[in-house]
Amino acid sequence: MKNLNFIDKLLYFVNSILAILLLFSFLLQFIKPSLFPYLSFMSLSVPILLIINLLFFVYWLVKLKKQFILSLFVLLIGYNQVLSFFKLSDNLERVSPDTISVMSYNVRLFNLYNWIDSDVENDINSFIDSQEPDVINMQEYRFTDRFLLENYKFQHSSLSDGKTSYGLATFSKLPVVNQGIIKSDNQSTIAIFIDVKKYSDTLRFYNIHLQSFKLESELEILDQNNSDKILNIFDNTFKIQENQATIISKHIENSPYKVVVSGDFNNTAYSYVYKLLKGDLVDSFDSAGNGFGSTYNFKYFPMRIDFILMDKTFRINDFKTFNQNLSDHFPIISTFNL
């Protein structure tokens, strides 16, 4: 510290605080939100903490200062978390007759309230036609005559009652032999599933949507210096997510078939609910993804809150995130072989 000027001493002080916060955030996967809900807020901040610590590491390294060791040490401890944030894979997509592809996409009600200037139903339809996934899991799906998937013979959905009926919908080219709905304690739908046949095998595909934080609107509340209100919103949301994930994870554990779990988790890969839902499954992004893999169109920093998880015996060939600005989420697709 003696060789640092005043500015660098101040920067190292900030660096130390943020490094400790990042180190602590690595433990959040093991802490139930119902026990310490306010601490769980940090799981959403891990991406920015990773970026800042990486920048500090580079800053001190360029200046040839030993202070680079602090951020390097923390980043190495959280090596797996770093890989969940940014990934480089050399996987080449292998297409064969037994290859299966699955898409997950939060379509944001097909732009019902005209958030963007686009013919969203038609554009999403065209995008799906270009990719031809075998199974499509949609969240915030709304039935509309302008969105028809003619190549998908099998459809399963659970939509809310009311003027705007929306919810979860799954489309499949593969024959569906069974289907079901998973409800929370208050009887709202939190997931749906289908059992499909592929040759002699039967697979179960889950489509899930956990409680939303409504990040953009809540940050606007925070900008208005109403921090107590936003903390209460996050507190309640974390507790609801924990309850939802517990119900879904138990259902997954009791599945008679190998599973593929995908959807909008509304939380990051550093959260308790992600760890709970992942269990012994494999994250397709970790196996075959590239880049930041950001799935939520968040203007502040990369946010990966949509996931495709699957049985560890499957061979994951590819994972892609598509920069389609037709929703506040980006579609993700993974291909795999049994």
- Rounded to the nearest integer, the mean pLDDT of the chain is 90
Q: Distance of CA 34 to CAs 24, 28, 145, 250, Å?
A: 18, 12, 42, 18
pLDDT at residue 7, rounded to an integer: 92
Q: pLDDT exceeding 70 applies to what percent of the chain? A: 93
**Tens digit of pLDDT for each residue in 28-67?**
899 999 888 778 878 888 989 999 999 999 999 999 999 9
pLDDT at residue 93, rounded to an integer: 60
- Residue, of 229 and 154, whose pLDDT is higher: 154
Rounded CA separation 230/247 (Å): 26
User: Does pLDDT of 97 surpass 90?
Assistant: no
- How many Cα atoms occupy the beta-carbon half-sphere of 269 within 13 Å? 26
Rounded CA separation 337/314 (Å): 6
Average pLDDT estimate for 90-109: 83
Average pLDDT estimate for 306-331: 96
pLDDT at residue 224, rounded to an integer: 53
Listed range (231-235, 282-286, 296-300) with the worst mean pLDDT: 231-235
User: Does pLDDT of 177 surpass 60?
Assistant: yes
Q: pLDDT exceeding 90 applies to what percent of the chain? A: 68
Closest CA to 159 of 102, 207, 123: 207
**Tens digit of pLDDT for each residue in 202-260?**
999 999 999 997 655 555 555 555 666 777 888 889 999 999 999 999 999 999 999 99
- Using 50, 70 and 90 to split pLDDT, how confident is the model at 301? confident
User: Does pLDDT of 27 surpass 60?
Assistant: yes
Q: Are 262 and 293 in contact (CB under 8 A)?
A: no
Sign of CA dihedral 189, 165, 297, 331: positive
pLDDT at residue 223, rounded to an integer: 54
Question: Phi/psi zone of residue 293: left (φ > 0), alpha (ψ -120 to 50 degrees), beta?
Answer: left
